Amino acid sequence: MTKRRGNYSLSISIVVLLLVLGLYGFLQSPFFTVESIQANGSSYTVETLAELAGIEKGTSLFRLDIDMVMRRLEQEPIISRAIVRRHLPDTVYIEVEERTPIAMVPYGSGFWGVAVDGTVLGRVDVSGISLPIISGVDSQNLVVGSTNVSELVMASTIVDGLPKVVRNSISEVNVKNRDGLKLISRNLVEFQLGGPGSLAEKLEVVSAFLPRLDSVPSPAYTVVDVSNPKRPVVRKLR
């Protein structure tokens, strides 16, 4: 009886081993290699995304390190989030969320885009776009992909704190002096914000004042001091 049980157990083990080996061989077969790469949500071509991700056609779908692929994609400054999935039998699906510039900062002979979180996105084509310019930033501190330039984080926070209709009326955000932050409108009205304290309240005042000043004859060179948002002061320079 014991010998019979031993033979039976051995047979079961062999069958299981053969099944595992067969399954492993099947999963590693050419039937499950990457033949198609599809993408959604990106301004990049599929070929560029595949290159950034390090995905090569012919790679085993099951040997593809999905976490590594997502990390590689998210190292690209414009990509804020990447999701990568395997679709059997031969497809990799990439979905990305991209950062878009909310403002731009001068660099060399052109401009670099700045995302809402302060990430430097690299050169932007200024033709056909109307983004606020961030001034007062040392260009030596600018590196594509950097997220730790405090002046850019402050400037993007200011721009993002304005309603879009008001934001479109702003030409410049000056962050050279952290205690003397300034907004300049396209019709040359200067808003003096003071320091970053009570920033949301100050931007509410800017949002209330700016549309009214648009209807005032010759609003240029008007200064609105909102460093104390409860008592804004308006004065004309000339």
Q: Please state, in angstroms and rounded to a whole number, the distance separating the CA atoms of residues 212 and 178.
A: 27
Model pTM?
Answer: 0.78
| 64, pLDDT greater than 80 | yes
Strand partners, 192: 182, 225
* Residue 235 confidence (pLDDT): 84
Q: What are the structural domain ranges in the chain?
A: 1-29, 33-98, 103-236
Higher pLDDT residue, 13 or 229? 229
Region of residue 54 (phi > 0: left; psi between -120 and 50: alpha; otherwise: beta): left
Token couple for 102: 């909310």
The SS3 of residue 6 is helix
Residue that has been written with the tokens 């205690």 in this structure: 179
In whole angstroms, what separates CA 38 from the centre of its chain? 21
User: CB count, 10 Å around CB of 14?
Assistant: 10
Can you tell me which residue has the tokens 């033949």?
A: 35
**pLDDT tens-digit series, residues 96-132:** 999 999 999 999 888 999 999 999 998 887 776 789 9
End-to-end CA distance of the chain: 110
Find all residues with CB under 8 Å of 41, minimum gap 6, and list them. Answer: 95, 96, 97, 98
User: Model confidence over 140-199: pLDDT tens digits?
Assistant: 888 889 888 999 999 999 999 999 888 889 999 999 999 999 999 988 889 999 999 999
Architecture of domain 33-98: Roll (3.10)
Inform me whether the pLDDT recorded for 47 exceeds 90: yes
Domain 103-236 carries which CATH code? 3.40.50
CA angle 79, 46, 76 (to 5 degrees): 20
Phi, psi of 105 (to 5 degrees): -125, 135
Nearest C-alpha neighbor of 55 from the set 38, 42, 80, 31: 38
Query: Which one-letter DSSP state was computed for residue 213?
Result: H
Q: Are the beta carbons of 210 and 202 closer than 8 angstroms?
A: no
